[in-house]
Structure 1
Amino acid sequence: MSATTIVSVILLLLLAACLIHLVPYLRDPHALCSYPGPLLAKFSDVWLGRVAAQGHRSETVHELHKKYGTFVRLAPNHLSISDPAAIQDVYAHGNGATKSNFYDAFVSITRGLFNTRSRADHTRKRKVVAHVFSQKSVLEFEPYTRVHVSALFTQWDRLCELGAKGLEGKEGEGWRGEGGRLWMDCLPWFNYLAFDIIGDLAFGAPFGMLEACADTAPVAISQEAAMASYGSSEKGMPEITHCPAVKIINERGEYSASIGVLPPSWRPWLIRWVPWYRRGNTSVEMLAGMAIAAISKRLAAPTERTDLLSKLQQGKDEDGRPLSARELTADALTQLIAGSDTTSNSSCAIAYYLAANPDVQRKLQYELDVSLGGIDDSVVTYEQVKRLPYLEAVINEGLRMHSTSGIGLPREVSAGGLTVCGRFFSEGTILSAPTYTVHRNEEVWGRDADRFRPERWLEQDKNELQKAFNPFSFGPRGCIGRSLAVMELFIIVASVFRRYCFVLEELNQKLETKEGFLRKPVVCKVGIARRTSNT
């Protein structure tokens, strides 16, 4: 092929690419041309895909809303709406909006409760799973949570004793003793805790991360063979390997959040030709293998204990049908991801904000001491702390500021259109309300909306604040495990800060984050010390 021919082919491809993006822009099928946003975003999904891959989508979109106002165009057919009223309009029951094809990027085994887009299928799955997260079930899970918080304390107390002697960990362990405190990155420890809790709650046994002080979990090498062996003593345990679970979940979230905003027709090509996407797809498969290995181990040794898996097995829809093996695995995988990621991220972020605001930390500890009878080594119960107003304010403020689910979950307008904040949008338009930005709306939260200040939850009308508070999403597709997550956070935060004092390693230290599907701390270096009657 001659050089002239090659140049001609390249020019034709470039012309075709331009036309593919220019024609829809000129046709404007969803009447979005009048809405402001980055120039490239008006023509192509590439802009949002690139922003998502860089790991700071919520912050980028927030700056765009500060620049352009309530409505910002993020892609040719995607509008972000930062008005708190959009939460009700876009996500509530009865508006008919469905999950967009963004969620297809999160399917690995089969569609589960989280990533199914069919309203009828979602209704069936939610009915099967709903009893798993009833208040009665959540209270049955509480003892497992408390056991693992106690295991965390055993490790921290051991390190505190070593630190008091001026010792430091081996290379890679990342802790040292200095000035009467244990200095460390607390993020890995909150990851270990959350994984061990969800392992015990969902699959009958912890992953053993707290005991090993390491990020590791078993993964089934052959997914199909492992699922075929469910509950079969004859086939034995599936062949497994081990992987760094936290790292795999992070890679999977970053990959899916980026490829999910790109056209579905592009996805196979990106996985095949772009190494970053290929690695992300591998992480999706490994994460599925992690859930399958845990289920295989649990079903190989039947037990009468109550856990999420046993309740998923008991669940039936209105026709008496239980979940299939693939559905069981998909929904168990969802619980693994949601139960580990959100708890660890939120616990770490709240610990950071309390370390960064010592007055708030002391006020919380005073409430705990007065309500619970002073400093004590035991892990609190949910009943002891669930009605403590300042503890609740601290947790709510941490969830508001950190916004672990902050990107604005996309919904597709159904037939008949949808009116949001007084604007009509036609069928097929993608809309989202960015939680990170809504949580910083000064009209709701005040001029200090960027500041961590739990007192706002006690000074302002909490019912009004709740209308702009969206940490678990909203409506029929909201987080079904909300009650479990809240119970865990109350026990973890109250127990940790009743027992320890936290300070930041560096003055004015920022909480560095990276965002995939969820917004996660990258590192949180703190100094901790056991509390005494004088601290």
Structure 2
Amino acid sequence: MITDALTAFYQQLDLRTVGYAIPLSIFLTHVVPWLWDSHGIRKYPGPFLAKFSDIWLGYVSKGGHRSEVVHEMHRKYGPVVRIAPDHVSIADPDALTVVYAHGNGALKSNFYDAFVSIRRGVFNVRDRNEHTRKRKIISHIFSQKSVLEFEPQIRLYVGQFLQQWDRLYDMAVKGMSGDDGEGWVGRDGRLWLDCLPWANYLAFDIVGDLAFGAPFGMIQAAKDIALVPRNQKSMMESYGREAKQEEVVGIPAVQILNGRGEFSMSMGALPPHWRPIARRLPGYAQGGKAVKDLAGIAIAAVSKRLATPTDRVDLLSKLQTGRDSNGDPMGREELTAEALTLLIAGSDTTSNSTCAILYYLAGNRQAQDKLHKELDEQLGTEDEYVATEAQVKRLPYLDACINEGLRLHSTSSLGLPRLVPEGGITVCGQYFPGGTVLSVPSYTIHRDPEIWGEDIEAFRPERWFERDQADIQKTFNPFSVGPRACVGRNLASLELSIIVASITRHFDFVLEDPNQKLETREGFLRKPLGCRVGIKRRDV
């Protein structure tokens, strides 16, 4: 009956009625809210379309260069820019400690709903009490003392990585080249390859071992591959056994991770009521499959890990023993969701950062020579194939090189959106009422000339010894700040220090093209698209 009534209604519509209805709908949906200005932000400048609709930010996010575009908007309009009807970007270091502060009442915005898979994890949970519960269970895992227990596993896979590059280098200097698809060649006494895939292999094998008790085997296979269950629901219901060969299929994990990040970022920039529609569009449908496949990697790996009881100390075992304030452990589904968070956060960030830092060192002979000198002087007499935590913690120029790489290429470069609580907050002298979304773009504040100097796009580690340290510490934001800052910061820092020190101690780098730009594409994280370098083994 309802269907018949609707059919009759639509038959009575003529083109004139439709012609009136469409602009009226646009006026009511987009212009009236702008005129009403319930958030009190109409006065802030920004792209014209962004004043009325989320379409502008959604389009920019879909394009893969959101941080760079928002940065250009700040250069054009100033430190406070409206980038959506209810969203204001504030490019001022002083805003960091207000927008992301402890106790200010701000919550993660509905942007994070687009990142939920399996169930909410510590990264995308929005409820404050639930986040506090999760943080209590997880935070002790990443204390400095706890992280040091993982050093042997990190060094194991860095060692495998170096052995692979040594093997390829020996073949390269003999004039050999890789088979089709391997992409490496020997020329001019160097091994030429794209270091990005190898950074991915290394990061995935480390996080695979730490989070799931076994590596993915990417370094040894020199291939991007991981297993997912053909039937995720069935495997979730039968945890505690290893999947049979016919129950799983291999997929390119890095490629899936990239697709998932771009999809979720694009979805998050759209209003919640638009997302179900957008998921059906051709440009988004494949991203939904990537979300499912990535969840499948965690489901298969956790199931395999729990199939064989062990007293091995790793991230998953620590998650299993964690308890909330009521003494309750995580359930099976929650455990898997948190393991998925570890997989995403622990792989992409490390690989992206490693690749970017090697790119900047390869393009700056002076900085690379200074780092080689520090490594040779401090580690030259110590018979360690892979650097240790005890060694790298006393290397100030290494720290400066890593930090400068993270300044120029923070993998999380966008402004993380926060929802202003009821009662509002004042940021940099500007009052914002409850319900407004605020963010502070790391990409832009990492390029503030007042803090970093006029040569903001130059890779110059020396600035970390020259600039005011208080300003630097206030502005440098690769891991965010406040109660929702990256819980794995200590682990990420240890990994990067050991990886960069070990690789640069053994090899000298040059860019294949001295004018090569580090091309990137941004999903939630800003990822290099490749970096071809020529490496030569050093005598150490």
Q: TM (normalized to structure 2)? A: 0.96
Per the alignment, do residues 22 and 381 of structure 1 end up closer, same or farther by CA in structure 2, a change over 3 Å counting? same
- Of the candidates 413, 419, 427, which is equivalent to residue 420 of structure 1? 427
Query: Does 1:27 pair with 2:44?
Result: no
TM-aligned CA deviation for residue 532 of structure 1 = 2.3
Query: Is 1:155–2:141 an aligned residue pair?
Result: no
Would you say 1:173 and 2:162 are equivalent positions?
A: no
Instruction: Report whether the alignment pairs 1:395 with 2:402.
Output: yes
Report the secondary structure of 1:142's partner residue.
helix
Shift of 1:167: 1.5
> Shift of residue 510 of structure 1?
0.6
Task: Give the match for residue 56 of structure 2.
Answer: 47
Residue of structure 1 in register with 2:82 after alignment: 73
Q: Choose from 422, 440, 449 the match for 1:442.
A: 449
**Aligned residues of 1:237 and 1:300 also touching (Cα < 8 A):** no
1:459 correspondence with 2:466: yes
Which amino acid in 2 is paired with 1:45? Answer: D
Shift of residue 464 of structure 1? 2.4
Q: 2:319 aligns with which of 301, 312, 318?
A: 312
Instruction: After TM superposition, give the deviation of residue 482 of structure 1 in Å.
Output: 0.2
Q: Tell me how far 1:236 sits from its aligned partner.
A: 7.0
Q: 1:220 aligns with which of 210, 226, 229?
A: 229
Q: Which position in structure 1 is the counterpart of 2:351?
A: 344
Residue 237 of structure 1 and its aligned partner are, at CA, apart by 8.2
1:86 correspondence with 2:72: no
In 2: Cα distance, 1:374 partner to 1:364 partner: 16
| 1:476 equivalent in alignment to 2:483 | yes
Question: Paired residue for 1:192, among 160, 182, 201?
Answer: 201
C-alpha distance in 2, partners of 1:171/1:378? 31
For the residues of structure 2 that align with 1:85 and 1:120, how far apart are their CA atoms? 27
Letter in 1 for 2:313: T
Matched pairs, number: 531
Kept in 1: contact 2:89–2:439 (CA 8 A) = yes
Quote the residue 2:6 is aligned against.
none
Q: Deviations over 1:169-213 (max 9, x none)?
A: 111111100000000110000000000000001000000011111
For residue 151 of structure 1, report the CA deviation from its aligned partner.
0.7
Q: Deviations over 1:294-346 (max 9, x none)?
A: 00110011111111100000000010011111111111100000000000000
Match of 2:330 in 1: 323
Find the counterpart in structure 2 of residue 506 from structure 1.
513
Deviations 1:438-457 (A, max 9, x none): 00001111111221111111
Shift of 1:375: 8.7
Encode CA deviations 1:480-515: one digit per residue, 9 max, x unaligned. 000000000000000000000000001121100000
AA partner of residue 256 (structure 1): S
Does 1:182 pair with 2:195? no
Unaligned runs of 5+ in 1: none
Helix, strand or coil for the counterpart of 1:509? Answer: coil
Amino acid aligned to 1:477: R
CA contact (8 A) 1:502 1:529 kept: yes
**How far apart, in 1, do the equivalents of 2:505 and 2:271 lie?**
49
2:111 equivalent to 1:126:
no
Pairing 1:260–2:293 present: no
Which residue of the partner structure matches residue 404 of structure 1?
Answer: 411
Residues 378-431 of structure 1, C-alpha deviation per residue, up to 9 Å, x if partnerless? 001011111211011111111001111001000000111111111110000000
Letter of the 2:419 partner, please give it.
E
| 8 Å Cα contact 1:226-1:238 kept in structure 2 | no
**C-alpha separation in 2, matches of 1:363 and 1:375:** 19
Separation in 1 of the partners of 2:99 and 2:271? 22
Counterpart of 1:76, as a letter, is P
Give the letter aligned to residue 410 of structure 2: S
- For 1:144, the equivalent position in structure 2 comes to 153
Residue identity in the other structure for 1:426: P
Separation in 2 of the partners of 1:266 and 1:295?
A: 34
Provide closer, same or farther for how the CA distance between residues 167 and 237 of structure 1 changes in structure 2, counting only shifts above 3 A.
Answer: closer
Which of 218, 228, 231 pairs up with 2:240? 231
**Separation of aligned partners in 2, 1:23 and 1:231:** 56
TM-score under structure 1 length normalisation: 0.97
Q: 1:295 aligns with which of 285, 302, 326?
A: 302
The structure 1 residue matched to 2:393, chosen from 373, 381, 386, is: 386
The residue type paired with residue 361 of structure 1 is: Q
Task: State the alpha-carbon separation in 1 of the partners of residues 326 and 374 from structure 2.
Answer: 50
Are 1:516 and 2:523 matched, yes or no?
yes
What percentage of residue pairs aligned between the two structures are identical? Answer: 61
Q: Tell me the CA shift for residue 461 of structure 1.
A: 3.0
Shift of 1:373: 2.2
1:460 positional shift: 2.3
Aligned to 2:25: 16
| CA contact 1:238–1:296 (8 Å) conserved in 2 | no
Contact 1:376 1:498 in 2 (8 A): no
Q: Where do 5+ consecutive residues of structure 2 fail to align?
A: 1-9
Cα distance in 2 between the residues matched to 1:5 and 1:374: 86
State how far apart, in whole Å, the 2-side matches of 1:300 and 1:445 are: 51
- What's the secondary structure of 1:166's corresponding residue? coil
Change in Cα spacing, 1:118 to 1:165, as seen in structure 2 (3 Å) is same
Q: Distance in 1 between matches of 2:246 and 2:314?
A: 22
Kept in 1, the 8 Å contact 2:258–2:523? The answer is: yes
Amino acid at match of 1:247: Q
C-alpha displacement of 1:119: 0.6
Equivalent pair of 2:451/2:467 in contact (CA under 8 Å): no
